[in-house]
Amino acid sequence: MDKYAVIGNPIKQSMSPVIHSAFATETSQDLEYGKLFAEVDDFKPVVDEFFAAGARGLNVTAPFKLDAFQYADCLTERARSAGAVNTLALQEDGRLLGDNTDGPGLVSDIRDNLGWQIRGKKLLVLGAGGATRGTLLPLLNEQPARLHIANRTVSKAHQLAEDFQRFGSVTAGGLEDIPAGFDLIINASAAGLSGERPHIDASVVGPDCCVYDMVYGAEPTPFMRWAEPLGARTADGLGMLVGQAAEAFHLWRGVRPSEAPVQAMLREALRKKLGAAAD
């Protein structure tokens, strides 16, 4: 039986084993998927041992995506542009391919699951950290009319815009001077991870705007709750979580699983968890 896992620190909270087990059942794939914990400085020895024991692939979560980038023998273009790897796949020649499936997971959720348009639209991305860098190339490959990066530290936003300028029309600035009237807004800032939202002017929300928050939970996020009264359609990042896993599964197994049933299963689990907490 082929072995796969997710590595992180912490790792208990990861839903990857549930997701990939569901994918395997759906696609009749014979595999085993587990969790790997590593101390912050022990990524290489833990991963060495894992693949030496015959493993075929590995998902990588915080804080090891940069370690995985350096560990891989070869990289996809999207991993190279992201400067980070979240998926390692053993190739037939014995080399380890490093990929970053976060961006494709985001795009597939927005475009295919939600039915929102990216091509030809004015796109605002909030944040200039690793989450943004990992998604810029797949977003720009969809050919938006314009992509603007806004970040609290303006220099980081400008650096990202410069790095990705060759892939499309990219501009940058601070959170206080964002132009008005975007069609699609993606919150990739660290604010969401702490239960907060980026403080931006309501004028950035254009007519028929769609607002996507990369974080997810049992209830709408603070950023979604801010955007809904402004007339925006909103979604959280649960579909991105499932989408990036589906992309990794396809890379490993050569088959693409259906995302909708797994997303519905996870959504129901979050609701039940919220209900249990309320009781």
Residue 274: pLDDT band with limits 50, 70, 90: low
**226 and 116 fall within a common domain:** yes
186 has pLDDT over 90: yes
Q: Looking at 34-48, 70-84, 186-200, which range is the least confident one?
A: 186-200
**217 and 253 fall within a common domain:** no
* Domain range for 152: 103-235
**249 and 209 fall within a common domain:** no
**70 and 122 fall within a common domain:** no
Alpha-helix residue ranges (DSSP H) falling in 85-212: 102-108, 130-141, 154-164
**147 and 264 fall within a common domain:** no
**116 and 223 fall within a common domain:** yes
Alpha-helix residue ranges (DSSP H) falling in the chain: 16-27, 43-52, 65-71, 77-82, 102-108, 130-141, 154-164, 222-227, 238-253, 260-278
CATH of the domain at 35: 3.40.50.10860
Q: How far apart are CA 21 and CA 78, in angstroms?
A: 26
Q: Say whether the peptide bond before residue 220 is cis (omega within 30 degrees of 0).
A: no
Residue 272: pLDDT band with limits 50, 70, 90: confident
**211 and 251 fall within a common domain:** no
Helix (H, G, I), strand (E, B) or coil at 19: helix
Annotated binding site for NADP(+): 77, 127-131, 151-156, 214, 237
Annotated binding site: 14-16, 61, 77, 86, 102, 127-131, 151-156, 214, 216, 237, 244
Annotated binding site for shikimate: 14-16, 61, 86, 102, 216, 244
The catalytic residue positions are 65
278 has pLDDT over 60: no
CATH of the domain at 115: 3.40.50.720
**160 and 230 fall within a common domain:** yes
Residue 176: pLDDT band with limits 50, 70, 90: very high
pLDDT in tens, 138-171: 999 999 999 999 999 999 999 999 999 999 999 9
Q: Which of 136, 103, 117, 121 is nearest to 240 (CA)?
A: 103
279 has pLDDT over 60: no
**228 and 121 fall within a common domain:** yes
Q: Helices 260-278 & 238-253, crossing angle to 10 degrees?
A: 140
**174 and 113 fall within a common domain:** yes
pLDDT in tens, 209-259: 999 999 998 899 999 999 999 999 999 999 999 999 999 999 999 999 999
**Token pair of 74 as six digits:** 């070869």
pLDDT at 91: 97
**41 and 132 fall within a common domain:** no
The number of folded domains in the chain is: 2
**165 and 50 fall within a common domain:** no
